[in-house]
């Protein structure tokens, strides 16, 4: 039986400009190629979870435009439940402009569009869907007030909350108290806590910061070094899988969605779930584009073999 996951998040149409290097201030660069793909942190995480075998319910918004229609069709083909995705009149669908260099590193500009219009009323309408989920995942490309409301509903129904605080933003103690699992990267973690993740002592301080705020599990993604996990009295690095980097877009989102798709609600397989998420993420960065690069569970097992 698959895990039920609700995702509250962004839906974007990504435009990627392929260039030799990220431009310096005032520099003009020739673009080698321009490509389009489905994106948005929320949509990426939903696709990753669904492709790894979860049943996913999405809470979000698109504009009444061509991009919105395209994204609804794209996500519909993934068999993601879109009953709680609203089409906002007189608003554009969210968009991301990605500058991708020849080493696979990127810089991203995000336009929120319809994503910024997710309302309290829309979250309340989705209560039944949230209540029947094992997990709800949220990020910061949609209003933080909406996330707070969704997490309050989740706690009312004993649903585990996963917060991916990206892009980085200051988080209220109230929201952290409602967060079971937090998944920042090292830059986001430093922004939130004021502690630079530079050594083991700093990592321990960071773990303590989130623990004191009520977070049960802290997962700090460290790129090619892996994922630092703090749960209970255990603090451990789960190493990354080394691959050839083509495009890092969507790698963190793939990790979150794929990890959640196999995580047991009692967290008893947390390290296996982290490793699985990293395997899925490693495949993502070897392929161009956000959603087109997200692997299925079958693909992960084909590349890395089945778990015992």
The domain spans of the chain are 42-59+117-304
68 is in an annotated binding site: no
pLDDT tens-digit map of 215-268: 999 999 998 899 999 999 999 999 988 888 877 777 899 999 999 999 999 999
pLDDT of residue 108: 86
pLDDT at 142: 96
pLDDT score for 9: 97
pLDDT in tens, 82-105: 999 999 999 999 998 989 998 888
Q: Provide the 8-state DSSP code for 185.
A: B
pLDDT at 308 over 60: no
Check whether 116 has a pLDDT greater than 70.
Answer: yes
Would you say 200 and 208 are in contact if contact means Cβ atoms under 8 Å apart? no
**SS3 state at 47:** helix
226 marked among binding-site residues = yes
Q: Which residue has tokens 């004021």?
A: 194
pLDDT at 227: 94
Which top CATH class is 42-59+117-304?
alpha beta
**Annotation-wise, does 13 bind a ligand?**
yes
Residue 187 has pLDDT above 70, yes or no: yes
Q: Is 252 labelled a binding residue?
A: yes
Q: Is 51 annotated as a binding residue?
A: no
**Looking at 180, 207, 253, 275, which residue is catalytic?**
253
State the chain's maximal CA–CA distance in angstroms.
Answer: 54
**What's the pLDDT at 1?**
66
Regarding predicted confidence, which is higher, 155 or 105?
155
- CA 158-164-166 angle, to 5 degrees, is 150
Q: Is residue 308 flagged as an active site residue?
A: no
Window from 33-47, 189-203, 281-295 with minimum mean pLDDT: 281-295
Quick: pLDDT tens for 266-288.
999 999 999 999 999 999 888 77
Nearest alpha-carbon partner for 217 in 204, 230, 201: 230
On the question of pLDDT at 290 being above 80, the answer is no
Query: What tens digit of pLDDT does each residue of 194-217 get?
Result: 999 888 888 899 999 999 999 999
């Amino acid at each position: 039986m698959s895990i039920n996951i609700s995702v509250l998040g962004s839906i974007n149409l990504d435009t990627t400009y392929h260039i030799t290097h990220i431009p310096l201030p005032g520099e003009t660069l020739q673009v080698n190629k321009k490509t389009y793909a489905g994106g948005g942190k929320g949509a990426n995480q939903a696709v990753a979870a669904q492709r790894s075998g979860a049943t996913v319910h999405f809470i979000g918004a698109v504009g009444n435009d061509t991009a919105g229609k395209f994204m609804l069709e794209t996500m519909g083909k993934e068999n993601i439940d879109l009953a709680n995705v609203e089409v906002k009149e007189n608003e554009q669908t969210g968009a991301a402009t990605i500058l991708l260099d020849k080493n696979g590193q990127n810089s991203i500009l995000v336009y929120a569009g319809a994503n910024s219009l997710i309302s309290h009323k829309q979250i309340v309408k989705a209560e039944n869907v949230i209540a029947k989920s094992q997990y709800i995942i949220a990020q910061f490309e949609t209003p933080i007030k909406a996330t707070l409301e969704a997490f309050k509903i989740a706690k009312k129904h004993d649903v585990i909350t996963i917060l991916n605080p990206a892009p980085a933003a200051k988080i209220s103690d109230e929201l952290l108290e409602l967060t079971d699992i937090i998944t920042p990267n090292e830059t986001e973690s430093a922004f939130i806590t004021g502690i630079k993740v530079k050594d083991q002592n700093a990592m321990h301080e960071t773990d303590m910061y989130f623990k004191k705020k009520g977070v049960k599990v802290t997962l700090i993604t460290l790129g090619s070094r892996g994922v630092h996990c703090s749960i209970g009295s255990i603090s451990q690095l789960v190493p990354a899988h080394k691959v050839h980097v083509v495009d890092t877009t969507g790698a963190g989102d793939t990790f979150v969605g794929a990890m959640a798709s196999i995580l047991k609600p009692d967290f008893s397989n947390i390290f296996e779930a982290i490793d699985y998420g990293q395997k899925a993420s490693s495949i993502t960065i070897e392929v161009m584009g956000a959603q087109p690069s997200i692997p299925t569970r079958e693909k992960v097992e084909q590349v890395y073999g089945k778990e015992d």
